[in-house]
Amino acid sequence: MKIVTFGEIMMRLAPFRNERFSQAATLEMTYGGGEANVAVSLAYFGHDVWFVTRLPKNPLGNDALETIQKYGINTGYIQRGGSRLGIYFLEHGASIRPSRVTYDRAHSAISDAEPGSFDWDQIFSGKDWLHITGITPALSSNCAALSLEAVERAKKLGLNVSCDLNYRKKLWSREEARKTMSRLVEWVDVIIANEEDASDVFGIKAEDSDITSGKLSVEGYASVARQLRDYCSADLVAITLRESISASDNNWSALLYNGNQVFNSCKYPIHIIDRVGGGDSFSAGLIHGLTNAWESQKCLDFAVAASALKQTIQGDFNLVSEKEVLSVMGGDISGRVQR
């Protein structure tokens, strides 16, 4: 399948070994960002993927570009220009101490991109799917306009469109999010959300659930899924459900609602290596299943297994093959050495 994702890729700088910034003399430099993460995972599953963004003409922009190339993603629609590369600083938490993200992405190349500066008709020509998240429109009013351009154009050109709501409170207010995302979801076929997004963005509440306590009500979220599908006029709604026992241990599951039936996944207990990008890897897994025309339960199970695996891998990217996901999905979660 030919899949396009549009958004920002940032340099990610993180101290090693659960250090705080105050202790670090050395930072791990990798790259990541919602839509780029989805692109990498889909490329690993064997798809033809294009990542669309804007990168500055400097050594950091070059490095970001090479990272995308490395994973086999097409970069032909990436623009070069603007003044800086977005950065995010990540302090890995542990146990009862949360991970801490410090964004330094204002004024990034993509944030400053002008509406109308991407030739969507060319970009979407011959493509099957567009994926976007709620992060891109949150970057700037320019990016909100570009995101709206993209989804509308993609939909009209016959692509399937998926969107992960991905609310980021450090980027915009709930009011701003609701205003923009309400327009954006009009063009979206598949809505993906985590257990908080529906409430944050659209005020749709999960009853009987206390997120900070780590307990989630599957039933409550089924009701959220139904409300969300109605609100967005979408075909499909998927909700990932994270029970955060601590920064080190989470339970991970999801549900999928297709208008007729709510499908529930099994729940994976995960000892976390890196939870950033978990939701993105779910999106990639779901898109993989849908483009393969798998049955709904299989789509969901694959997406949950893929995203459970992601959280055992350093960095934003889910560097796993379809075969590895299928193995986990088939029940092999014992971690035995393969030799």
Beta carbon of residue 188, minimum distance to a copy of itself (angstroms, whole number): 23
Nearer Cβ to a copy of itself, position 103 or 295?
Answer: 103
Q: What is the DSSP letter of 99?
A: P
Residue 208 interacts with a copy of itself (CB under 8 A)? no
| Distance, CA of 146 to CA of 148 (rounded, Å) | 5
Residue 57 interacts with a copy of itself (CB under 8 A)? no
Residue 26 interacts with a copy of itself (CB under 8 A)? yes
| Distance, CA of 205 to CA of 108 (rounded, Å) | 34
56 burial level (CB within 10 Å; 0-12, 13-18, 19+): buried
| Distance, CA of 332 to CA of 63 (rounded, Å) | 36
Contact of 24 with 16, CB cutoff 8 Å: yes
**Binding to a copy of itself, residues 265-304 (CB under 8 A):** 268-273, 275-276
Nearer Cβ to a copy of itself, position 94 or 207?
Answer: 94
Both tokens assigned to 73: 């993603």
Measured CA to CA in angstroms, residue 6 lies from 149, 253, 257, 265, 267 at distances of 11, 26, 25, 28, 30
Beta carbon of residue 285, minimum distance to a copy of itself (angstroms, whole number): 14
| Distance, CA of 145 to CA of 201 (rounded, Å) | 18
- Per-residue binder mask for a copy of itself (CB under 8 A), 175-194, x = binder: --------------------
**Binding to a copy of itself, residues 95-134 (CB under 8 A):** 95-104, 106-107
Among 69, 173, 182, 233, binds a copy of itself (CB under 8 A): 69
Residue 312 interacts with a copy of itself (CB under 8 A)? yes
Nearer Cβ to a copy of itself, position 93 or 115?
Answer: 93
How many residues touch a copy of itself under the rule CB under 8 A: the total is: 88
Nearer Cβ to a copy of itself, position 157 or 319?
Answer: 319
